[in-house]
C-alpha cells in the first residue's frame, strides 16, 4: 500500500501534483479524511484521461477491499477505457451518508461522513493525480445504489452519470425505514436514528432519490433491479445465500418501479431495467457492463 499526499491542518488533502493521470495500472492509496485514513483502490485510465467512475459497495462493505474488485470483472472490463475507476474501501452500513453522530449501539468512535469524503476530500486528493473534479460518474450496488443517485442529485457539478443496481432508491416508502433499521442492526449493530434520525426526519427525504428526482433532471441515469428469480449465477453462492438474495430483491424491484414512475411523471428520461436475477454480485457485474457505454458517453472517455 502506498501513502501519498497529506493535509495541512484546516486544508483539504491533496495528492502529488502531476499534469496527467497515470496511464493504466492498479494502485491502492490511503486518503486522509475527517473519519481517519481511508483506503481507496484505483485503476488508472488506460490513456491517462482525467475522468473517473466511482463505484460504491453494498451494506457488507469489507474493511480491506472493494467487493467490486473481488466479486466482479469490472477491472478487466474497463481496462482499455480512458476512465479511472475509483473504489472507496469501507463504509460498512453507512449508506455513504454524512451521519448526525456516531452510532450509539456499537461503540462507533467517529461519525460517518462519507458524503463529505466522496464529494470533497477524495476529489481534492485525486485532483493531485490529474483526475477531474467535475467529469465523474458514480454507481453502486445495493446500499451503494441509492447512495450513488443521492450523491449525483446533490452534487451535479461533480457527477455526469449515476447508476443504481438493486439499490433502495425510495427509503421513505412506508415502513421501509424499519427495513433499513433491521438491516443495519443485523449488519454491525448500527443505529439508523444516528444516521438520518427517526422516520420523517428531513434527512430521510434528502437521501431518497425518488423524492429528489427533480435534481436528477438532465443526468444520464441507469437503474436496474432483479425479479428475484435465481439463475445459474446464484449456484456458487449456495442455497442459503440464494434464498436471502431472492428475498431482498423484490424490495429493490418495487423501489425501481416507483422511481421509474416518478421520473416518467416528471418527464425525466432514465433507463430502468427489471432483469432476471437476485440480490447478488454477478447480476451487478452484468449491470455495470450494461451501463458501461452510457458511462463512457457521458464522460467522453472512449
Annotation says 279 is catalytic: yes
Helix (H, G, I), strand (E, B) or coil at 54: strand
pLDDT recorded at residue 178: 85
70's CB contacts (< 8 A; 6+ apart) are: none
pLDDT at residue 276, rounded to an integer: 86
- Per-residue pLDDT tens over the stretch 264-289: 999 999 999 998 888 889 999 999 99
CATH code: domain 2-6+22-98+112-190+209-299 is 3.40.50.1820
**Cα–Cα distance measured from residue 118 to residue 113, given in angstroms and rounded to the nearest whole number:** 9
Catalytic residue among 103, 142, 166, 224: 142
Measure Cα distances from 89 to 61, 130, 258 in Å.
7, 21, 30
Residue 249: what pLDDT?
74
- How high is the pLDDT of residue 31? 98
* In the chain, where the domains are located: 2-6+22-98+112-190+209-299
Residue 157: how many other CB atoms lie within 10 Å: 10
**3 state SS of 119:** helix
**115, 120, 121, 249: which one is catalytic?**
249
**What pLDDT, on the 0 to 100 scale, is given for residue 124?**
97
The string of pLDDT tens digits covering residues 147-195 is: 999 999 999 999 999 999 999 899 999 888 888 888 899 889 999 999 9
11 labelled catalytic: no
Residues of the chain with pLDDT under 70: 1-20, 231-248
pLDDT of residue 23: 83
Catalytic one of 93, 115, 120, 279 = 279
User: Which residue reads 434528502 in cell numbers?
Assistant: 206
What is the model's pLDDT at position 20?
Answer: 66
Catalytic status, residue 93: no
Q: Which three cell numbers stand for residue 262?
A: 416518478
Amino acid at each position: 500500500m502506498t501513502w501519498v499526499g497529506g493535509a495541512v491542518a484546516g486544508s483539504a488533502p491533496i495528492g502529488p501534483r502531476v499534469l496527467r493521470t497515470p496511464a493504466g495500472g492498479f494502485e491502492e492509496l490511503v486518503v486522509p479524511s475527517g473519519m481517519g485514513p481511508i483506503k481507496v483502490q484505483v485503476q488508472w485510465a488506460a490513456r491517462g484521461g482525467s475522468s473517473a467512475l466511482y463505484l460504491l459497495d453494498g451494506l457488507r462493505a469489507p474493511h480491506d477491499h472493494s467487493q467490486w474488485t473481488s466479486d466482479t470483472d469490472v477491472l478487466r472490463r474497463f481496462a482499455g477505457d480512458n476512465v479511472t475507476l475509483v473504489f472507496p474501501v469501507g463504509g460498512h452500513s453507512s449508506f455513504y451518508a454524512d451521519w448526525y453522530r456516531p452510532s450509539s449501539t456499537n461503540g462507533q468512535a467517529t461519525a460517518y461522513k462519507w458524503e463529505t469524503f466522496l464529494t470533497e476530500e477524495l476529489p481534492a486528493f485525486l485532483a493531485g493525480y490529474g483526475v477531474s473534479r467535475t467529469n465523474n460518474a458514480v454507481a453502486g450496488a445495493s446500499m451503494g445504489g441509492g447512495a450513488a443517485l443521492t450523491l449525483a442529485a446533490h452534487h451535479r457539478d461533480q457527477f455526469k452519470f449515476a447508476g443504481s443496481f438493486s439499490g433502495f432508491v425510495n427509503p421513505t416508502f412506508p415502513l421501509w425505514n424499519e427495513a433499513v433499521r433491521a438491516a443495519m442492526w443485523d449488519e454491525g449493530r448500527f443505529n439508523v436514528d444516528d444516521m438520518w434520525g427517526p422516520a420523517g426526519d428531513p434527512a430521510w427525504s434528502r437521501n431518497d432519490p425518488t423524492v429528489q428526482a427533480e435534481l436528477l433532471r438532465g443526468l444520464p441515469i441507469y437503474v436496474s433491479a432483479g425479479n428475484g428469480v435465481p439463475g445459474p449465477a446464484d449456484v456458487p453462492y449456495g442455497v442459503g445465500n440464494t434464498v436471502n438474495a431472492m428475498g431482498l430483491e423484490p424490495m429493490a424491484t418495487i423501489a425501481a418501479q416507483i422511481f421509474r414512475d416518478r421520473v416518467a411523471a416528471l418527464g425525466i428520461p432514465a433507463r430502468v431495467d427489471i432483469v432476471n436475477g437476485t440480490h447478488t454480485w454477478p447480476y451487478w457485474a452484468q449491470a455495470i457492463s450494461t451501463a458501461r457505454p452510457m458511462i463512457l458517453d457521458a464522460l467522453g472517455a472512449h
